[in-house]
Structure 1
Amino acid sequence: MTSNDHHSGNLNVDFADPGSSVHTETPLRHDFATENATTTTVASPKMSSAARVNSRPDRENTLPDYEGPTGGVDNASGRRKQNKLLRLLRMASTRLKDQAKPERAIGAPPTLFQQFKSVIFMSWLNVLLVFIPLSWAFNFANLDNTLIFVFSFIAIIPLAQLLAYSTEELSTRVGQTLAGLINATLGNAVELIVAIIALVKCELQIVQSSLVGSILSNLLLVLGMCFFAGGTKFAEQGFAFSASQINTSLLTLSVIAVLLPAAFHLALEDTQTDPNSDARKAEGTDILAISHGVALILLFIYLCYLIFQLFSHKSLYDESNPENLHASTRYSPRSDKNTAIRNRLRHPFHGSTEKTPGLATTSSGNDIVGSPRPEAHEMTTPGSPRADVEQGLAEEDEEEHTPQLSVLFTVILLVVVTVLVAVTAEFLVDSISELTDTGVISKEFVGLILLPIVGNAAEHVTAVTVSVKDKLTLSLGVAVGSSIQIALFVIPFIVTLAWILGKPLTLLFDPFESIVLFLAVLTVNYVVQDGKSNWLEGMILMCLYIICAVTFWYYPGSNIADTITSGCDGV
């Protein structure tokens, strides 16, 4: 049997035994005999052309290996997946660069002397920085713990202000989203540092009461003063009502997470009279496990809250969007009110169709003498306070922002201030135990009332200042947003950290403190649900905080969590 194969124009004939599968290929032309003298090819009549080419040693194999019927498809699919992954990485990189880009153009950085000058004259609270070396000196000299506590307490206030100032400077260097993440991370740094130090020293009661007190201080004292300060200039102030409703829902959720362990304990308290019984120990183990699980869930909710606020629904938190805000109203000019009242007294029965600004009018056209109605300034009306604020913000956005600090100086300032806060807070926590052992003041009052003032001093000043400028949404973001961060991030983070360190910190707070916290959140929920505020609502919140402070002064406190979990001695 013969087979013709055309290679380079030469005709080859195969001679093979019919009973053998080996075919010997012999060239017809003699000039190729030497080249193929030692060449024998095992070939099948059905061998593919690619196989025959690859079987010839005299030819360089330049063709790709045979990959089967689906090899090319698999390679194409792999290339498509690789290209898709590269596109996603490029999109993520572009998105990150866009978020890192500041909202406004950044001017030239100031000189080193100007930066030091900006830090020194940043706030009048810097006068209190002299208490830092004094508190350290009193501590190393082992003086009276009352002096150490007072001086350390005062020293942390300007440090908290510097921490907020450096955080704000760092936020101006990046976009709005990353700025929000930075503020969310460093917004409650003082409370977090104090709580960590108290946790390491196993002052669990101070940890719990200080965090609850921070929420109460933000919701009642800070927010109340914002409403009151803004109410002295505006009859009513509007704010982002949709965002406020979401925030109060998150606060309610966090309070429920605190109340459930207390309810769990109270439900089993009547059946367990002996604190050393096995049932009481089992209850402590169960509450500790519940606290760990709930803490992880709260951290997940906080992550979802950040995504909601900074990415998916950040328009709800935009104060410049008129759809999110109610119109703020100013008080009517006093001269117009006096003129209207005098005209009404002179012509008590005279009907007129002329309307006096600030006074209500009946259907017959007569003015109603009474409490003047404040003039509403719609956000879309030119010349209104809200429109002036929006125009000022728009002009401010177009201008170039001149930073007061460079990036390197800001980072160094953050590190230095954080170290100073940590050391001073350690002296503060060390002096609390001996101070409260005298019986003059209780740990509950120190944690619930005094320590929150230290952490909220800077936020307090900022929130009140911007509320007078009719930026109440920003004030709520400072007060209510800080409370949400403590409830959904700081508290579960501290519980998780205690879990890692082997400290028996639980979400079983003092029942009385938990009830007060629930009532505070409930009151704030009613106050902000209409999206408007006035000075009376601010006065209500401040008076409620004073009532809580007076009550906690006489409250002896309880160590339920330590009793159940045997405290740090049982670890």
Structure 2
Amino acid sequence: MGPLIKEIRSNVVLWLLAFVPVVFVVRQLEPEAHTLLFVLSVLAIVPLATLLSAATESVASKTGDAVGGLLNATLGNLTELVIALAALQAGQYTLVKASIAGAIVANTLFMLGASFLLGGIKYHVQEYNRVSARLQTSLLFLATIAMVTPSMVAQVDSVATSAFTQQLSVGLSVLLIGAYAMGLVFSLKTHRELFSGTAHAEEGEAWPMGLALGTLAAVTVLVALVSEVFVESVQEAAVAFGMTPAFVGFIVVALVGGSAEMAAAFAGARRNRLDLSVGIALGAASQIALFVAPMMVLLSYVIGPAPMDLLFWPGAVVMVLIATITAFLMTNNGRSAWFVGVLLLMVYLIFAMTIYLLPPQI
């Protein structure tokens, strides 16, 4: 427990863990205080996600940046997955779809841009494996095609019924999960030599494996419980703050749910480990697009009140497409400077401002 206590003492963000029990106490005493519960649940999820990131880095400490980035992205996405599952079970499909699209855009623009900016402030020019970036953006483009297709058919074909859209969504979900699995085989097995990053000396002391795995398990349970409170309170709180469910899902949930990956990506950029940062940002985005989103569709038949489809509102599809193209253009040469990060962040801020001022009709 020593390394865990040391980490909590040295990281100011982890002091917010004190809000975790407060969330459950307030829920019992004031179950109708939705705005307060929303704020408290956000304050609780952020340190839990940060702790998840710290434990994940210890588990990934014996791997290279390519595998480490995948592991960070996978376990970091647990927060977003749990929130999405809670919303799915509650039948809040608007929130589910908005959080999925928002997470893809946040990872490809905000997380990647902030990593380039933070690393570029410390280092004049940084380099990373552009082959890995190309693979992830290619997978993202594939997922965008799958998102465009149901929306396009629904707009131009009058015979496109709800049953047709649901059947198409199930078929597309199976294809996307298959493509994601084959992408993992390609990058981690058959052509793994193309995706190796630069070797780096480890900084700091890794946690014992037992402590890291135990922390991952405990934090995952706590995130699930807090996420349930978050989903229950988000709709009422959104009204109180003058926000639509689309803005909450696209911006708030995406940033809160992705805080674990962001902490690891930003730290990697500041240590000149941009392979790790790019791997986390783009890896998390492609994982959400090709695995989390299709799984939500399939799981809706099991735990949802009704089947969910891949029919996103046109504005979300356009934003995901622009984010994917922007990430591809900005990562094409394998080199970065701080102004590249500024450009990515500006695109994200344009999207955020647009959704806040003119929310899409879902």
Both structures adopt the same fold (TM-score exceeding 0.5): yes
| Change in CA separation of 1:424 and 1:256 when aligned onto 2, cut-off 3 Å | same
Q: 1:508 to 1:309 in 2, by over 3 A?
A: same
What's the counterpart of residue 86 of structure 2? 197
Q: Output the CA distance in 2 between the equivalents of 1:437 and 1:168.
A: 38
Q: Does 1:448 align with 2:250?
A: yes
CA pair 267-531 structure 1, distance change in 2 beyond 3 A: same
Q: Secondary structure at the match of 2:148?
A: helix
Distance, in Å, in 1 between the alignment partners of 2:148 and 2:252 is 24
Task: Tell me the SS of whatever aligns to 1:544.
Answer: helix
Contact kept, 8 Å, 1:177 with 1:311, in 2: the verdict is no
TM-superposed deviation, 1:470: 2.3
Letter in 2 for 1:257: A
How far off is 1:157 after superposition? Answer: 0.5
Q: What is the rounded CA distance, in whole Å, between the counterparts of 2:61 and 2:360 in structure 1? A: 44
Match of 2:360 in 1: 557
Greater RCO, CA 8 A, separation 6+: 2
Matched, 1:314 2:192: yes
- Counterpart among 96, 101, 111 of residue 207 in structure 1: 96
**Aligned ranges 1:2-41 → 2 under 5 Å:** none
Residues 292 and 496 of structure 1 are in contact (CA less than 8 Å); yes or no, is this contact kept in structure 2? yes
Equivalences for 1:259-270 in 2 at 5 Å? 259-268=148-157
Paired position in structure 1 for 2:236: 434
Instruction: Provide closer, same or farther for how the CA distance between residues 469 and 417 of structure 1 changes in structure 2, counting only shifts above 3 A.
Output: closer
In structure 2, distance between residues paired with 1:179 and 1:226? 16
Q: Which residue of 1 aligns with 2:168?
A: 290
> Partner of 1:425 in structure 2?
227
Aligned partner letter, 1:511? P
Q: What is the Cα deviation at residue 203 of structure 1?
A: 0.4
State the alpha-carbon separation in 1 of the partners of residues 336 and 319 from structure 2: 23
Q: CA deviation at 1:222?
A: 1.0
Change over 3 Å in CA distance of 1:250–1:127 after alignment to 2: same
Q: 1:413 deviation in Å?
A: 1.9
Q: Quote how far apart the aligned CAs of 1:181 are.
A: 6.8
Which of these residues, 413, 427, 449, is aligned with residue 215 of structure 2?
413
| TM-score normalised over the length of structure 1 | 0.59
**Distance change >3 Å, CA 402–CA 474, structure 1 → 2:** closer
Partner residue in 2 for 1:508:
311
Task: Tell me, yes or no, if the aligned pair for 2:130 and 2:331 is still in contact at 8 Å.
Answer: yes
Shift of residue 119, structure 1, vs aligned partner: 4.6
Q: Distance in 2 between matches of 1:439 and 1:171?
A: 39
What is the TM-score normalised by the length of structure 2? 0.92
Question: Which has more radius of gyration?
Answer: 1
Secondary structure of the corresponding residue to residue 232 of structure 1: helix
> Who is 1:117 aligned against?
5
CA 314–152 in structure 1, closer or farther in 2 if over 3 Å, else same: same
Change (3 A) 1:251 1:122: farther
Equivalent residue for 1:535, pick from 329, 335, 338:
338
Equivalent position of 1:568 in the other structure: none
Q: 1:458 aligns with which of 260, 266, 271?
A: 260
| Displacement of 1:450 | 0.5
How far is 1:471 from its partner? 1.8
Query: Residue 235 of structure 1 aligns to a residue in which SS?
Result: coil
Gaps of 5+ in 1: 1-111, 272-278, 321-389, 560-571
Shift of the alpha carbon at 1:161? Answer: 1.3
Partner of 2:299: 497
Question: Which runs of 5 or more structure 2 residues have no equivalent in the other structure?
Answer: none
Report the counterpart of residue 544 of structure 1 in structure 2: 347
8 Å contact kept, 1:444–1:555: no
Equivalent position amino acid for 1:448 in 2: F
Instruction: Please tell me the residue identity of whatever aligns with 1:514.
Output: V
* Cα deviation digits, residues 144-198 of structure 1 (max 9, x gap): 2111111101110011111222223233478999867754542310010000000
Q: Any conservation in 2 of the 1:169–1:404 contact (CA below 8 Å)? A: yes
Cα distance, 1:116 vs structure 2: 4.3
Post-superposition offset of 1:523: 1.2
1:498/1:184 CA distance change after superposition, 3 Å: same
How far apart are residue 518 of structure 1 and its match? Answer: 0.7
SS of match in other structure, 2:310: coil
> Is 1:134 equivalent to 2:22 in the alignment?
yes
Question: Whose helix fraction is larger, Structure 1's or Structure 2's?
Answer: 2
Please say if residues 65 and 197 of structure 2, whose CA atoms lie closer than 8 Å, have aligned partners that are also in contact: no
Do 1:235 and 1:534's aligned partners in 2 also have CA atoms closer than 8 Å? yes
Is the 1:292–1:499 Cα contact (8 Å) retained in structure 2? no
Which letter does structure 2 place at the counterpart of 1:425? S
* Alpha carbons 2:72, 2:264 under 8 Å: kept: no
Distance 1:551 1:500, change over 3 A: same
User: What RMSD over aligned residues (CA atoms) do the two structures have, in Å?
Assistant: 2.4
Q: Deviations over 1:111-166 (max 9, x none)?
A: x4x24424533632111111112222222222521111111011100111112222
Residue 77 of structure 2 corresponds to: 188
Provide the rounded CA distance (Å) in 2 between the counterparts of 1:248 and 1:319. Answer: 17
275, 282, 298: which one aligns with 1:480: 282
Q: For 2:79, what is the secondary structure of its paired residue?
A: helix
Q: State how 1:58-97 maps to structure 2 within 5 Å.
A: none
SS at the partner of 1:440?
coil
Residues 241, 170 of structure 1: alpha-carbon distance in 2 compared, 3 angstrom cutoff: closer
Is 1:257 matched up with 2:146?
Answer: yes
Change (3 A) 1:178 1:456: closer
Work out whether residues 156 and 421 of structure 1, in 8 Å CA contact, stay in contact via their aligned partners in 2: yes
CA distance in 1, matches of 2:72, 2:260: 13
2:143 & 2:128 partners in 1: Cα distance? 23
| CA distance in structure 1 between the aligned counterparts of 2:268 and 2:74, rounded to whole angstroms | 22
Query: Is the Cα contact below 8 Å between 1:180 and 1:310 reproduced in 2?
Result: no
The one-letter amino acid paired with 1:522 is: I
| % identity of equivalent residues | 33
Residue of structure 1 equivalent to 2:45 = 156
Cα distance between partner residues in 1 of 2:63 and 2:320: 36
Aligned to 1:332: none
